[in-house]
C-alpha cells in the first residue's frame, strides 16, 4: 500500500505584496500558531525552513522561541531547507548561493546544533544545474521543489536523482499541485500519488496555509484525519520531509536520473525591477572583495576597527545576511510592491558602500608602508581573487600642475605603461586616463607619473573615421552600412529593438517574447569621443519609442574584441527592449554562463536566465562570445540572438487580474547602463569569459599618493 506523508509547512514570503515589517509579523504569528497546533495535536508535526524566520522569532519573542526549541527537541518541529531564505536559484551567482547556504548553516549550527540535509525551495522559479554540486559540498543530499510544474517541464517521475553540472547528485522530489492549501480535498492529496517510479511505496503531500503564513489549521488536521479513516487504498500519516526521505532510503537505484537544469517558471522575473538586481550584484561583489582583502591581509583587521561601530567581521556577517535575504525569489524577481523596494535598495546600497569603504581603507592602510617618492603615484589595488588583466580608467588629481603632454605613466620597474588621456567624466575639466595594466589577485601596484621620459610604444594603426573604425587585430565597426567585425568574422551590427509585451510582472504563461510589431531606433550623427593611439571611441544619440538612447563603440589597440555600451532612458509601458544580433549559428546549441559554471542549451527561441556571458558556435572550431554582467536573460535561434535589456509591465500585476490601473507604476523608469564585449575565435574558454566578467564587476580600487613629492610653487 502506498504511504502518503502529509507534511505541514507554511510558505512565508517575507516581502511580496506587503513590506518587510509585515513579513516579520507573519513569521511570528505563523510560528505561534504552529506551536499551538502541535500542543493541541500530539501526533502532528510541522516543518519550517528559513533561518531568517527563526532569527526574527529569537530576537523578538524569546518565549515563543523556547517553545519552538522544545518541539524541535521532541522531534515534532522539523528544520528543513536550512538556507537563510528561499532564494531565486538562477540569479545570485555561485558566490551568492554559497553565502545563502552558508549563512543559514552557520545560524542553525550555532543555534540548534544541526543543519538539515534536505534543501527546500518549493516556490523558487527555476533551479540552476550547479545546485547538486554546491549543495553536496554543504552536506545536503536531498531536495524538494515545485516550480517548474508539470505543465512547464516534463520529468520522468516525481521522485528522481538529479545530476548537476560539474558533479553532484540530489535525491529530488517535485511537489504536486501546490505547497500549501486552506482545505484538504481528496483530489489534492491524490495528486502526489501520480508519476512515482515503479516500486516506490512512499510519497509526500505538502500542505498548510502559505504565502502570508499560517501553517496547519484545525480544519486541515480534521480533514486529513477523516481522509485517513475513509481512504482504503492509501496509508495517510502526519510526517516530516526527513521521515519521507528516510522511508525511501536504499531505493535510489529505482529512481530515474535527470541531468542538467530544472527550468523554467516566470521568465519575466529576470528582466523586471532591474535596479534591485544591479544592487544585489554590486553588493555581492563588494562583500566578496572584502573577504578576499581580509584573507590576504588579516593583520589589517585591527586597523579597520571603529570602536564605536563594532568589528569588521560582525559588519561583514550582518551585511551578508541582508544580501542573502534580498535574494528571496519574489524580491529579486521584481514582483513585490513598488513601495517595498525602498527597504531593499537601502540595505543593498548600505552593504555595497560599506564594502567600498573597507576596500579603500585597506588600500590606504597598506600605502603607509611604502617609502617616499618624488613622483606622484597612482595606486591600484586588485581586491579580488582573480587577476585583473586589461584596461582601467582613473582620474589622478594633478593639483596646480595640471596634466602636460610630456607626462608618462611608469610601473614599479620604471618601465612605461600604455596609457591614453581620454574624455573626462566631468564637463568642466579633469585628467581621466585609460591605462593598460595586469594586477595579480590581491596585489597593490604603484604607478608613477614622470615628465622626463617618453613612452616606447609603437603607434597602433587605427583606421577609419566617425562612421567606420577598426584595428589590425580584427576589431571593427561600421555604422553606414551597419556592420561589425570581430576576429575574422563579419556580422550585422547588433541593435536595440522594442516589442510589445502584454504579459504580467512575472510573464506568466509564456516561454518567450513575440517578434512582431517591432519598433526600430532612430540614430543621430555619430561623434568621436576618444581618438588616440590606444583607445578609439565613437558615440551616437538615438531614440526608440518614448526612450532616449546613447550608444558607444570602443576599440582598444591590443585586442580584437569590441566593446559596445548603451545608456537607455527607459520611459515605456508594456514593452520589452532587446539587443538583437542577426547571425548564422553553427549547430543548434549554445553555451550560457550559469551560477558556478556553464551549460549547453538548445537554440530554440525560449527565454532563459543567463549569468554574465553566452557563447555561440560559428563553425566547427570558432565561436562568438558576448560578455555582459548587465544582462540577465536572453533567447536565441540559429538565425539570431536577442539579449533582453528592459521590460515595462505594471509592478505587482499578477494574472488573471487585468492590470492597467491608472495609479499603477511601470517598472524601471529612468536611466540604465549596459556594457557588452564581443569576441570571436578558437580559444574562447569559459575561464576567460568568467575572468572578463569578474573584471567588469570588480574595478580596481585606486588612490592618489603624493607623499615625498616636492611642493608645487
Look at residues 541, 45, 51 and name the one whose alpha carbon lies nearest to residue 244.
45
Whether the pLDDT of residue 712 is over 90: the answer is no
Model confidence band, residue 470 (pLDDT cutoffs 50, 70, 90): very high
Cα 642 vs. chain centroid, distance in angstroms? 19
* Mean pLDDT on 87-111: 98
Residue 455 has pLDDT above 70, yes or no: no
Contacts 24+ apart (CB under 8 A), 549-552: 549/496, 549/521, 549/523, 551/523
Mean of the pLDDT values across residues 669-693?
97
pLDDT digits (tens, 9 = 90+) for 116-137: 999 999 999 999 999 999 999 9
Q: Is pLDDT at 66 greater than 90 in this prediction?
A: yes
Lowest mean pLDDT among 82-96, 164-178, 422-436, 575-589: 422-436
Work out the end-to-end distance of the chain between its first and last CA atoms, rounded to an integer number of angstroms.
95
SS3 sequence, 180-201? CECCCCHHHHHHCCCCCCCCCC
411 contacts: CB under 8 Å, gap ≥ 6:
417, 445, 447
According to the model, what pLDDT value does residue 458 have?
Answer: 53
Q: pLDDT tens across 204-245, in order?
A: 999 999 888 889 999 999 999 999 999 999 999 999 999 999
pLDDT, residue 342, reads: 97
Three-state DSSP at 51 gives helix
Q: How many other CB atoms are found less than 10 A from the CB of residue 401?
A: 12
Label residue 403 by pLDDT band (50, 70, 90): confident
Contact between 444 and 380 under an 8 Å Cβ cutoff? The reply is: yes
Is the pTM higher than 0.95? The answer reads yes
Distance, CA of 675 to CA of 571 (rounded, Å)? 20
Q: What is the pLDDT of residue 212?
A: 81
Q: For 173-199, how does the pLDDT look when each residue is reduced to its tens digit (9 = 90+)?
A: 999 999 999 999 999 999 999 999 999
Residue 172's DSSP bridge partners are 143, 160
pLDDT at 454 over 70: no
Return the closest-CA partner of residue 636 out of 686, 682, 586: 586
Which three cell numbers, joined as nine digits, stand for 118? 534536505
Quickly state the pLDDT bin for 311 (edges 50, 70, 90): confident
Q: Is the pLDDT of residue 307 over 70?
A: no
Q: Which domains does the chain have, with CATH numbers?
A: 2-261 (3.20.110.10), 269-367 (1.20.1270.50), 376-457+700-705 (2.60.40.1180), 463-682 (2.70.98.30)
Residue 646 φ then ψ, to 5°? -150, 150
CA distance 492 to 639: 12
Confidence bin at 305 (pLDDT 50/70/90): low
Average pLDDT of the residues in 632-656: 97
Cβ 11 vs Cβ 30: under 8 Å: no
Residue 378's φ and ψ, nearest 5 degrees, are -110, 115
Please report where in the chains the cell 593639483 appears, as a residue. 399
For residue 568, pLDDT beyond 70: yes
Instruction: Kindly report, residue by residue over 502-533, the tens digit of the pLDDT.
Output: 999 999 999 999 999 999 999 999 999 999 99
- Whether 304 has a pLDDT exceeding 80, the answer reads no
Q: pLDDT per residue over 361-397, tens digit each?
A: 999 999 999 999 999 999 999 999 999 999 999 999 9
Instruction: Tell me what percent of the residues of the chain surpass a pLDDT of 70.
Output: 97
Neighbours of 181 (CB within 10 A): 18
Average pLDDT on 147-171 reads: 97
What mean pLDDT comes out for the span 338-350? 98
Mean pLDDT of 624-642: 98
Please tell me the predicted confidence (pLDDT) of residue 462.
Answer: 84
Query: Rounded to 5, what percent of the chain is helix, strand, coil?
Result: 25, 30, 40
pLDDT of residue 460: 57
Query: What rounded mean pLDDT belongs to the chain?
Result: 95
- Would you say residue 463 has pLDDT above 90? no
* Residue 309 pLDDT: 63
Q: Distances from the Cα of 255 to the Cαs of 18, 157, 172, 194, in angstroms?
A: 40, 8, 10, 14
Instruction: Work out the pLDDT band at 444, boundaries 50, 70, 90.
Output: very high
pLDDT tens for each residue of 583-623: 999 999 999 999 999 999 999 999 999 999 999 999 999 99
If you average pLDDT over residues 341-364, what whole number do you get?
97
Grid coordinates belonging to 391: 584596461
- Classify 452 as helix, strand or coil: coil
Give me the sheet containing 142-145, strands edge to edge: 118-121, 142-145, 169-174, 159-163, 257-259
* Helix H or strand E segment including 58: helix 51-60
Q: How confident is the model at residue 404 (pLDDT cuts 50, 70, 90)?
A: confident
Query: Which three three-digit cell numbers place residue 207?
Result: 500542505
d(C-alpha 90, C-alpha 269), whole Å: 10
Within the chain, how many helices (H) and strands (E) appear?
13, 37
Q: How far apart are CA 192 and CA 231, in angstroms?
A: 15
Task: Report the distance separating Cα 330 and Cα 269, nearest Å.
Answer: 8
Q: Would you state the pLDDT for residue 639?
A: 96
Provide the Cα torsion 216, 220, 225, 229; round to 10°. -150
Q: Look at residues 663, 53, 644 and name the one whose alpha carbon lies nearest to residue 334.
A: 644
Give me the phi and psi of 488, to 5 degrees please: -105, 15
Q: Which three cell numbers stand for residue 605?
A: 527561441
Amino acid at each position: 500500500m502506498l504511504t502518503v506523508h502529509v507534511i505541514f509547512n507554511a510558505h512565508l514570503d517575507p516581502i511580496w505584496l506587503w513590506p518587510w515589517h509585515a513579513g516579520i509579523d507573519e513569521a511570528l504569528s505563523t510560528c505561534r500558531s504552529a506551536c499551538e497546533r502541535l500542543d493541541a495535536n500530539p501526533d502532528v508535526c510541522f516543518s519550517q525552513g528559513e533561518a531568517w524566520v527563526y532569527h526574527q522569532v529569537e530576537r523578538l519573542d524569546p518565549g515563543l522561541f523556547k517553545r519552538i526549541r522544545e518541539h524541535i527537541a521532541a522531534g515534532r518541529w522539523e528544520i528543513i531547507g536550512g538556507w537563510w531564505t528561499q532564494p531565486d536559484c538562477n540569479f545570485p551567482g555561485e558566490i551568492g548561493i554559497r553565502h545563502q547556504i552558508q549563512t543559514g548553516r552557520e545560524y542553525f549550527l550555532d543555534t540548534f546544533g544541526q543543519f538539515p540535509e534536505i534543501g527546500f525551495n518549493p516556490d523558487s522559479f527555476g533551479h540552476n544545474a550547479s545546485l547538486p554540486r554546491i549543495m553536496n559540498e554543504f552536506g545536503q543530499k536531498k531536495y524538494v521543489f515545485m516550480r517548474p510544474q508539470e505543465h512547464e517541464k516534463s520529468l520522468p517521475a516525481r521522485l528522481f536523482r538529479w545530476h548537476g553540472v560539474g558533479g553532484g547528485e540530489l535525491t529530488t522530489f517535485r511537489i504536486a499541485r501546490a505547497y500549501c492549501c486552506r482545505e484538504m480535498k481528496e483530489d489534492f492529496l491524490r495528486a502526489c500519488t501520480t508519476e512515482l517510479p515503479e516500486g516506490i511505496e512512499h510519497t509526500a503531500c505538502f500542505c498548510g496555509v502559505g504565502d502570508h503564513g499560517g501553517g496547519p489549521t484545525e480544519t486541515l488536521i480534521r480533514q486529513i484525519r477523516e481522509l485517513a479513516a475513509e481512504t482504503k487504498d492509501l496509508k495517510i500519516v502526519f510526517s516530516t520531509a526527513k521521515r519521507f526521505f528516510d522511508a525511501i532510503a536504499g531505493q535510489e537505484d529505482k529512481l530515474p536520473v535527470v541531468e542538467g537544469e530544472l527550468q523554467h517558471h516566470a521568465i519575466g522575473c529576470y528582466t523586471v525591477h532591474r535596479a534591485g538586481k544591479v544592487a544585489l550584484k554590486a553588493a555581492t561583489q563588494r562583500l566578496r572583495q572584502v573577504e578576499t582583502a581580509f584573507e590576504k591581509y588579516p593583520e589589517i583587521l585591527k586597523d579597520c576597527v571603529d570602536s564605536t561601530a563594532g568589528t569588521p567581521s560582525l559588519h561583514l556577517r550582518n551585511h551578508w545576511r541582508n544580501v542573502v535575504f534580498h535574494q528571496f525569489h519574489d524580491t529579486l524577481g521584481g514582483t513585490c510592491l513598488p513601495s517595498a523596494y525602498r527597504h531593499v535598495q537601502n540595505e543593498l546600497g548600505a552593504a555595497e558602500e560599506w564594502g567600498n569603504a573597507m576596500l579603500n581603507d585597506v588600500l590606504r592602510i597598506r600605502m603607509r608602508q611604502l617609502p617616499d617618492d618624488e613622483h606622484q603615484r597612482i595606486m591600484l589595488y586588485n581586491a579580488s581573487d582573480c587577476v585583473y588583466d586589461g584596461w582601467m580608467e582613473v582620474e589622478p588629481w594633478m593639483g596646480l600642475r595640471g596634466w602636460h603632454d610630456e607626462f608618462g605613466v611608469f610601473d614599479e620597474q620604471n618601465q612605461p605603461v600604455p596609457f591614453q588621456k581620454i574624455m573626462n567624466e566631468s564637463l568642466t575639466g579633469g585628467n581621466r586616463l585609460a591605462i593598460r595594466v595586469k594586477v595579480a589577485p590581491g596585489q597593490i601596484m604603484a604607478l608613477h607619473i614622470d615628465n622626463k621620459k617618453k613612452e616606447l610604444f609603437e603607434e597602433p594603426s587605427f583606421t577609419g573615421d566617425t562612421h567606420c573604425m577598426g584595428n589590425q587585430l580584427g576589431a571593427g565597426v561600421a555604422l553606414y552600412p551597419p556592420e561589425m567585425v570581430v576576429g575574422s568574422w563579419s556580422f550585422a551590427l547588433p541593435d536595440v529593438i522594442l516589442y510589445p509585451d502584454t504579459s504580467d510582472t512575472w510573464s506568466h504563461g509564456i516561454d518567450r517574447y513575440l517578434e512582431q510589431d517591432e519598433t526600430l531606433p532612430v540614430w543621430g550623427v555619430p561623434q568621436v569621443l576618444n581618438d588616440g593611439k590606444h583607445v578609439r571611441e565613437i558615440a551616437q544619440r538615438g531614440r526608440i519609442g518614448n526612450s532616449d538612447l546613447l550608444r558607444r563603440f570602443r576599440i582598444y589597440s591590443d585586442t580584437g574584441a569590441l566593446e559596445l555600451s548603451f545608456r537607455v532612458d527607459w520611459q515605456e509601458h508594456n514593452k520589452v527592449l532587446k539587443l538583437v544580433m542577426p547571425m548564422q549559428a553553427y549547430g543548434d546549441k549554445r553555451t550560457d554562463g550559469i551560477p558556478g559554471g556553464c551549460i549547453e542549451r538548445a537554440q530554440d527561441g525560449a527565454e532563459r536566465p543567463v549569468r554574465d556571458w553566452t557563447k555561440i558556435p560559428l563553425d566547427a572550431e570558432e565561436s562568438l562570445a558576448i560578455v555582459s554582467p548587465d544582462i540577465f536573460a536572453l533567447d536565441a535561434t540559429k538565425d539570431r540572438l536577442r539579449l533582453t535589456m528592459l521590460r515595462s509591465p505594471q509592478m505587482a500585476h499578477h494574472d488573471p487580474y487585468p492590470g492597467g490601473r491608472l495609479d499603477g507604476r511601470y517598472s524601471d523608469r529612468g536611466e540604465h547602463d549596459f556594457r557588452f564585449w564581443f569576441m570571436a575565435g578558437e580559444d574562447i574558454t569559459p575561464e576567460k569569459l568568467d575572468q572578463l566578467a569578474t573584471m567588469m564587476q570588480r574595478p580596481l580600487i585606486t588612490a592618489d599618493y603624493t607623499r615625498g613629492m616636492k611642493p608645487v610653487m
